[in-house]
Structure 1
Amino acid sequence: MAAGAGLIAVTYGVVRFGFGLQLTQLSAEFSLTPTLSGLIASGSFAAYCVSALTARRVTAHRGARTVLWLATASAVAGALLVSVAWTAAALAAGVLIAGSAAGAASPALVVAVSATAPPRAADRRQAVVNAGTGAGVVAAGLVALFAPSAWRPVWIAAAVAAVVTAAVVDRRTDWPRPDGAASTGTTAEEGGTWRALLRPVLAATLAGLGSAAVWTFGRDLLTTVGGLPERTTAVLWVLLGATAVLGALSGDAVRVLGLRRTWVLTVALSAASTCGLAAVAADPVAAGVAAAVFGGSYTALSGTLIAWAGALRPHLAGATTATLFIALTAGQAVGSPLTGSLTGTLGAPGAFTVSAALLASAAVVLPRTGGGRGAPRR
């Protein structure tokens, strides 16, 4: 579980979301405009989707262990390319390759936890592993705080950490054998559940559309609109990452509140903090509160999607999680350039307000049941 959380910290917190955290330095060094920055982030999110789709098929025929090492190879290759990037094109290619790693890491780790953890502890352990994103954001944020110009070594360290954590996961996991029919959901019994997936896929897509603003442009907003010093914004991003670790409680929240209430709560908090961050960008204390709320609520939101996937298709948790995370990331792939474009016309606060509204709309798409304590989770 610790190694799985570490791999998520690398593939999500550093090599996927690190671009947004380091955007101020990267924009200055590579002359990136908001629109170009949004397109680069969008490419990374799109690569994630392709990787997750590939992971579904590879898991079925070669097993989740193979997917784990494909994710590791992508993280290493992309991170090393970013670390030596000499042009904006090289930077974009590295961010794209590195961003694809998370798309394979999540389904591989869902299978690893499901196959290795006791069934009664599976939801909680899935949530803990998923919350590794926060640890990665904290690590990258601390570097941005104490050595803002040393962004290249961060990516080199990420490549090394990816190999180490993947090796431990591989060693400690009781990997199941691949089963092509079951893993792809092609049996008659599982085929009927695709209609049930439409609701969570729509919810995840809307959440992705709205959440892209903070992950891609959040720190840049505080610097350019709020006028906060770079060291202050780095501290706020460390705070965001630290509270993102609280997403580990999403499994317990689903157990206590039910899936429906947990989904509404996490979406509402994510939307409110997105809007709030733009409204109080010049106030470091209020911005810190908004960043902290976003970090915890967004990670809990993604953990709730894992629980939703497991409730819908308990024997295909990895494949179903991949489907919902593809939807979440596809939304972010559209949301990043949309936010960049809206920033040029409405200004950053206006763009963030639109993003918050899109994110809030995901709360309207509810799980069919699971509204209270002990209720079935669908």
Structure 2
Amino acid sequence: MDEKKLIIVGLPMIAVTYGLSRFSYGLMLPYISETIKMEQYTSGVISSFSYIAYCIAIIVAMAFSIKISPKAILFLAGLLAVLGLGIISIAASPGILGLGIFLAGLSTGFSSPPYATIVSKNVKRRLQNQTNSWINSGTSIGTALTGAIAIIMADSWRETYLIFMLIAIVVVFANYKVLPKNQTVKENVTFGFSKEEWRRAIPLIVASMLLGLSCSAYWTFSRDFILQTESVPDYIGEWFWVVIGISGLLGGTAGAVINKFGLATAYWISVLTLSTSSLLLGTFTGKSMIGFLSPALFGSSYIFMTGVLIAWGISVFKSNPSFGLGVPFLILALGQAIGSIFSGVFADLLGYPAIFIGGSLIGYAALMLKKHKANKGF
């Protein structure tokens, strides 16, 4: 299968499952909270539902990747996205909203591992890092799209989620028509770790956890924080998510950077930039320039960082590309789930700036870890 055709259908699917189904909650939270009265703690817990669902789904997707075709798993991901987005659009209570967020989160976990398998089977090895990176950058497209629609639709968040659901239906149909049919799994593909893979995976797992913790507050509360800051013009808050999404397209270059400079250098660049974006937001919020610079740095570095984790994971778990993508993304999401809950708690106690600064410090810790492990982890 031509890698360009795979990117054309894979990128929109990731845009739907990540951008529309998962990360849109942080964008819509200010509007949702006006309709469904929620404390910051409740908002943080509901946000964690998405990450918890993601963890569950990605484990199931990895486990069944050796038994069920990638296309079937992707079709399930699409159906869950449609169902979750539909439920969110009609939610009248935190419980129903949480159910919709949970189902939409499941779609995210089911969508990533199958593409890693499809790429490994259908794309030349020298093009696999770039193909995976560009498919992964669909998150940025979905994020930019949610931001643009939110600006147009203002506070009509229910109608916005209905539009997201219709987009999801179209994308699922396109993937069903284009992706290879019922490709069998190689006999030597297994579910699990070898001792060598486990040893090499330890720095990957620790780094993924720290990075998940570091960016969780940003995804959940950054826009709400900007909108509540009186010294920042309203238009910055309105365009905040669009800036994250558009800048995320730079993350699609992760594969090319890895091929040219190596995984360790790519990791160092992405984590340094990601952590600095949170530090700027928490420290210089009153500056309008930071209102654009911080999300630009965050969007580009987050997508770039996840592209690095994909390449790193696949290099560790060479016998199972689905597992190689799934493990770091699982740990990343677990860190985000834990971080979302604690971010909501500490936001109530200490305020928003403290949680962004704290997140940046955790990110810098991950940078120091990788600097020490650079030659051993890859």
Q: Provide the TM-score with structure 2 as the length reference.
A: 0.93
Relative to structure 1, the CA distance from residue 161 to residue 315 in structure 2 (aligned partners, 3 Å threshold; closer, same or farther) is farther
Query: Higher mean Cα deviation, 175-184 or 9-18?
Result: 175-184
Q: Answer yes or no: is the 8 Å Cα contact 1:311–1:377 preserved in 2.
A: no
- Which one of the candidate residues 185, 192, 199 is aligned to 1:178? 185
User: In the alignment, which of 79, 82, 101 is matched to residue 107 of structure 2?
Assistant: 101
d(CA) in 1 for partners of 2:197 and 2:69?
A: 22
- 2:229 matched to which residue of 1? 225
Aligned-pair Cα RMSD in Å: 2.0
Structure 1 residue 224 displacement after superposition: 1.6
Separation in 2 of the partners of 1:153 and 1:340? 27
The alpha carbon displacement at 1:227 in A equals: 4.9
Offset from partner CA, 1:135-175 (integer Å, 9 cap, x none): 11111101221222222233223223333323333433335
Q: 1:130 aligns with which of 130, 136, 139?
A: 136
- The 3 A distance-change label for structure 1 pair 194 and 367 is farther
C-alpha separation in 1, matches of 2:97 and 2:235: 24
Hey, what does 1:240 align to over in structure 2? 244
1:226-253 alpha-carbon deviations (Å, 9 max, x no partner) = 5545543121221111001111001111
Corresponding residue for residue 144 of structure 1: 150
1:48-101 CA distances to partner (integer Å, 9 max, x unpaired)?
A: 000100111121211222211121121111100001111121111101110121
Contact 1:60 1:181 in 2 (8 A): no
Residues of 2 paired with 1:55 and 1:303: CA distance? 19
Distance across 2 between alignment mates of 1:2 and 1:332: 28
Structure 1 position 121, deviation (Å): 0.9
Give the one of 287, 290, 297 matched to 1:283. 287
Evaluate the alpha carbon distance shift between residue 40 and residue 29 of structure 1 in structure 2; reply closer, same or farther with a 3 A threshold: same
CA spacing shift, 1:199–1:192, aligned 2, 3 Å: same
> What is the total number of aligned residue pairs between the two structures?
371
Distance in 2 (alpha carbons) for counterparts of 1:130 and 1:226: 35
Question: Secondary structure, in 3 states, of the residue corresponding to 2:319?
Answer: helix
Structure 1: how far apart are the matches of 2:190 and 2:231?
Answer: 50
Conserved 8 A contact 1:137-1:241: yes
Output one character per residue of 1:277-334: Cα deviation in whole Å (capped at 9) or x when no partner: 1222222222201110110001100000001012112331111211110000000000
Question: Out of 42, 45, 53, which is 1:36 matched to?
Answer: 42
Report the Cα offset of residue 370 of structure 1: 6.7
Decide whether aligned partners of structure 1 residues 60 and 347 sit closer, same or farther in structure 2, where only a CA change above 3 A counts.
same
Separation in 2 of the partners of 1:259 and 1:368? Answer: 14
Residue type matched to 1:155 in 2? Y
Amino acid at match of 1:178: V
Question: Which residue matches 2:16?
Answer: 10
Change (3 A) 1:146 1:161: closer
Question: Structure 1 counterpart of 2:354, which letter?
Answer: G
Whether 2:185 is the aligned partner of 1:160: answer no
User: Is structure 2 residue 326 aligned with structure 1 residue 319?
Assistant: no
Q: Which runs of 5+ in 2 are unaligned?
A: 1-6
Give TM-score, length-normalised by structure 1: 0.93
| Aligned partner letter, 1:91 | L
| Distance in 2, Cα, partners of 1:51 & 1:266 | 26
